[in-house]
Chains A and B, each alone.
Chain A
Amino acid sequence: MELIQQIRDKARSLLEEGTVEGVIGYERASDGVTARPFFAYKPSVTERLIFDETCAHNLVKYLLDKKGKKMAVVVKPCDSRAINLLLNEGQIERDKVFIIGVGCPGMVETSWNYKSETLQAKCRSCQLSKPLVYDFLAGGELERQAEEETYSDIAQAEAESLATRREFWLEQFSRCIRCYACRQVCPGCYCPVCFAERLEPLWVGIRIAPEENELWQTIRTFHLAGRCIGCNECERVCPVDIPLSLLNRKLEKDVKELFAFQAGLDADEPPPFATFKKEEKLEFGE
């Protein structure tokens, strides 16, 4: 309760003082069990703000809808990597965001009207005790007992033959209905016109079919290479349970190995695909 009260008090004073126009946080969802994003514009409604193990949503994406306005946002450690990413890419201005950071106990698997006891996979390997960037830390640091991210499931998949892997993924993609929830929730997907909506050139048609879906998913994954901050929101919101984290973590693993880089840890570190280092040998055929 102490943590939640700190969030509410901070939100109220920010609004009362006019420091921000709005506070983006969490409130209880209509099922009475899970959480949902909540936009507070008046001090009186800040009592609705909550924070618990159902608050999985990455609220940072909403800052892109509020450009030009000073907003406060409740940020977990994983979400703070999105802040760093968007700062690095010039999508948000640091002085337009008041970050209410929280030390996070880990989020549990949830679905409508249901809250499990199981920690989400991304949380099991999270070692961050507090956000990487914040203006106010509610509740203080929270030491985590985290497993190490070994990418063992990725390595296991990599050991399969190409044919097996292709069959697996086509089967997964056959369920995709191109709702684009994965794209809409992702802080790294903010192109004004997504490549999937372009007609000239035509990258992906309007057909909702396995091969086209495969094109959609793989191109999006590559657009996030070196940029995905691992919030796993894409997989959480997918209505047909496509294991998108396998794709994104595969490229995260590759980028780590090739460039010793992970997105969102440092707002000032130049991203690998926009940098060239003399030490990188480039010989054709290598």
Chain B
Amino acid sequence: MNLFASKDNLIRWLDSLLAERIVIAPVRGQEQTVFQPISKVEEIAFDFDNTTLSPKGWFLPPTETLFSVQRDDGRVELVPTLVEQDAVLFGLHPCDAKGIALMDKPFLQDPGDALYRERRTRTALIGLACRQALPECFCTSMGSAPDDPSNVDILLTEVEDGYIVQVVTEKGKALLPQGLVEYKGKVPPPPKPQAVLIKEVISAMGELFNDPYWEQLGDRCLHCNICAYVCPTCYCFDMRDYSDKGKVERVRSWESCQSRGFSLTAGGYDPRTTKGERLRQRFYHKLLYFPEQFQDVACVGCGRCVRDCPVNIDIREVISDLQQVMEAKSGS
């Protein structure tokens, strides 16, 4: 049964949630919308299309301290970071929610990352269905949809004077305010993102590994970290101790396979020395290795990498290029 919340209902509901939890929501900055903890409901941007960064940063922050090292009279104690509060992640689109569900696979797999798991357990997800598909969106080809409720606790869909409230999980049900009425109106049809044919390509990727296509594509890649950092499912990280004025912390930060020293061993050996090899790693990890391990492709079709790559390395184009390379190979 779908419920209905007017804009006022929603604001009051969020106010009450804010009183006892952290609320992370889209906030419009200078020219960008980003997910961040809010102090007032007025800060929320309800009418955004896509944020600069995905909300994965709440569960895997760009930088976080895993534990700190206290030294007391020669005795060493390790103090882990604790998750202090319950939270609500509000306003994420279904593609981003799928991104979080994909990140759960490596992080919760035994031995689970305790900090990630704690935060995940204590954070409820209130999703927002998409009003329109942007030119770079292709979620329906990657196992999601603009109105897909599967990975959130509650899904809101904007209608004329408020929001349809679809309760998905028990956790979501527990968050509902009192007094929401049943929604009897029509559910607006979801927008239609462009389609990308991916199935055949993934099964052929094994044979395309050594194709010169990768070095040619790698020619224009800058090997910055933009694609990996804006992506809802990329999760590679670096760990190092941060030592300042006697305080020592074990810090975890975002890293990406595109940076030069990513696979460089201490002895000086690097299995990926060329630009094409490094670029290829990202595509293979997302489209082949991750599915082999976790039975799901690590791309949700949010289009951020397409939008932000300074040299237009477009994953949809790469997939259709690989299709052609595949056909040319089998033809000859």
Contacts and interface: CB of A to CB of B under 8 A. Distances in A.
B53 A177 contact: yes
A209 B57 CA distance: 13
Contacts of A261: none
Interface stretch (A30-38, A88-96, A125-133, A217-225): A30-38
B311 A177 contact: no
B275 interface: yes
Contacts of B255: 206
B138 to A, nearest CB: 12
A112 interface: yes
Nearest to A59: B220
**Interface residues of B, dominant DSSP:** loop
B316 to A, nearest CB: 7
A62 B275 CA distance: 12
B307 interface: yes
Nearest to B308: A239
A175 B29 contact: yes
Nearest to A233: B310
Contacts of A62: 219-220
A253 interface: no
A259 to B, nearest CB: 31
B31 interface: yes
B225 A180 contact: yes
Given A30-B317, A179-B224, A208-B254, A36 B260 contact: no
Nearest to B219: A39
Interface string B224-257: 1110011000000010101000000001011100
Interface in A14-45: 29-31, 34, 36-39
Interface string A102-113: 000000000111
Given A30-B306, A30-B317, A112-B308, 16 more contacts: A29-B312, A31-B312, A36-B312, A37-B220, A39-B219, A175-B32, A177-B229, A177-B254, A181-B310, A184-B222, A185-B222, A205-B242, A205-B251, A206-B240, A206-B251, A239-B308
9 contacts: A29-B314, A39-B220, A113-B136, A175-B34, A177-B53, A180-B259, A185-B224, A197-B259, A239-B229
Interface of B: 29-32, 34, 52-53, 62-63, 135-136, 216, 219-220, 222-226, 229-230, 238, 240, 242, 251, 253-255, 259-261, 275, 306-308, 310-312, 314, 316-317
Interface of A: 29-31, 34, 36-39, 57, 62, 65, 111-113, 175, 177-181, 183-185, 193, 197, 205-209, 236-237, 239-241
The 4 A-B residue pairs with the shortest CB-CB distance, nearest first, are: A181-B224, A36-B312, A237-B310, A208-B62
